[in-house]
Structure 1
Amino acid sequence: MNWITNYVRPRINSIFSRRETPENLWQKCDDCGTMLFHRELSENLNVCTNCGHHMGITPRERFLALFDGGVFSQVTVPEPVSDPLSFRDQKKYPDRMKAAQKMTGEPEAMLVATGEIGRTPIVAAAQDFSFMGGSMGMYVGNAIIAAAEEAVRLKRPLILFSAAGGARMQEGILSLMQMPRTTVAVQMLKEADLPYIVVLTHPTTGGVTASYAMLGDVQIAEPNALICFAGPRVIEQTIREKLPEGFQRAEYLLDHGMLDRVTPRTELRDELITITRMLLGMPPAVKGDLPKPDMAEPAPAEPETPAKE
């Protein structure tokens, strides 16, 4: 047995070999620059534990934190025509769609689901800004209509989380037509006397702000979210004036009567439970309330042993 080959060399290699560290273990905060451990950041719902900056979060991650036990059922959304205008810029529209689907793992920019929050049945819809900027195309219009129809059918409130850069340019006028379509969908909820709650996240801009995102019975926003139709840079270049500090941010809109609440993401679930139950005329939710366990059938009684005389 060659002890140098079998023992010494492997031992030296194990000491000096380079250990690969995964690149996704740490993430840098966009605002304060703090390096955040991925598990700690995920547990805090992608909110910086140092400065409270709200980073992007996918609809599926949001729903896992929102619904009781992370349990929800996805609502099927009708598929629109894939490329109605045969649009092409630097890439073909279908190629951009495939790239976005591969990056996000989702078929489109909106997810619709049903479930319970605080034992309160709801329908929820959320936009994914990482999917082509959350742009509003025909699929997003179909998704909001499907969410409204499901809410009316089940007689449940609808909670919508908006995050979009506006209409989807690759669908042209068909994208802009989703503004009146989604407005009609919101009207369906109002006619059915069902609450419609909107949570505006960063950013919510363009045609989305000009339609369903600003029609809620209650308007809530996450801290420092940009909420506008035209962005501040466009406005500054148009009017040739310096805009106020924090213009078009959530706190500014709250001060000027455009919003009802600005709520941190970590407190949003409890806030939505309280508001939803209030609008439905239900009693306040009980903290730590658990489903009543199924009553198991009593075990058969054992035969009595005759007493000895």
Structure 2
Amino acid sequence: MSDLRLEQAKQWLGKHFSHFEIHNLAGDASFRRYFRISTAEENYVLMDAPPEKEDVTPFVQIGDWLAQHQLRVPKIIIRDQHQGFLLLEDFGDVTWSVYHEKNHVIDPLFTDALEQLHRLQAAPNTLKLPCFGTTRMQRECDLYLDWYLPHIHGLTPNPAQRQAFHQVLQPLLKKIHGLPQAAVHLDYHSRNLMVPKNGLPLGIIDFQDAVVGPVTYDLASLLYDCYQDYPETERRHWSKHFFTNLNTKYKEKFQDFEVWHRAVRLTSLQRHIKVLGIFARLAHRDGKTQFLDEIPLTHQHCMQELQALSLQIPLLNA
């Protein structure tokens, strides 16, 4: 937030509170910034989304929709969509990731996250969420070619190499797109799930990019998290738990659990290819070099998926 933007925020807050303190919170991978607002009565989170760069309307609309279907998202206390300011319920500082780092038992978190995910998938698409199709998946995977390979490995793929990459990847993307479709959070992982001070259910954040996409997508994001490395036995356990309780209209499309779990891993592969490109872009275009630290584990996941699926994709073993 620039000094001018900060002053605008203080003036806006001053219309609602006679006294408050404002403290920086960590930002995310967008132009949005977050601040903790402390008053005598309560703490809040201020979302600053500069209107010329970020539109808060999707956050507001999707948040209201999720709350209607019993997902725990932050309540909007005060909103000014024109200026790009939202004052939100404060879930605290403990993400799933932080909670896990403190060696707490995370089984209850998985149970709750999967229950909320089932509710999300059961929600009717009254918002007409956009479709997460093969064109978008391909565009996301191209971030690997355009950012990860040149900036991390010093390799700029030539047209023939790009074509070979696309030729092998395209049928896989069509398989993913052919899976049953449901509402998808799109970033359902350990840094976007909060453990509030008053306990479960988990608080869900960063949901403004929700789409309609593969029923496997959010589970893949959670189990094959770019920031976590769970044992495969644990992933399979929770995948089976989720599959057992899957809505019949989705479940009947899969022959058995093994077919389901292979689809989860294939979905995860597409996501990790994308994320490698995003991390490289965040570091080298946006100056957020901390994301370089997340690349090794994401790359490791990617290689494990290729092995588990018995796949070879040109340029992907870089």
TM-score if structure 2 supplies the norm length? 0.26
Q: Which has the higher contact order (CA 8 A, sep 6+)?
A: 2
Query: Higher helix proportion, which one?
Result: 2
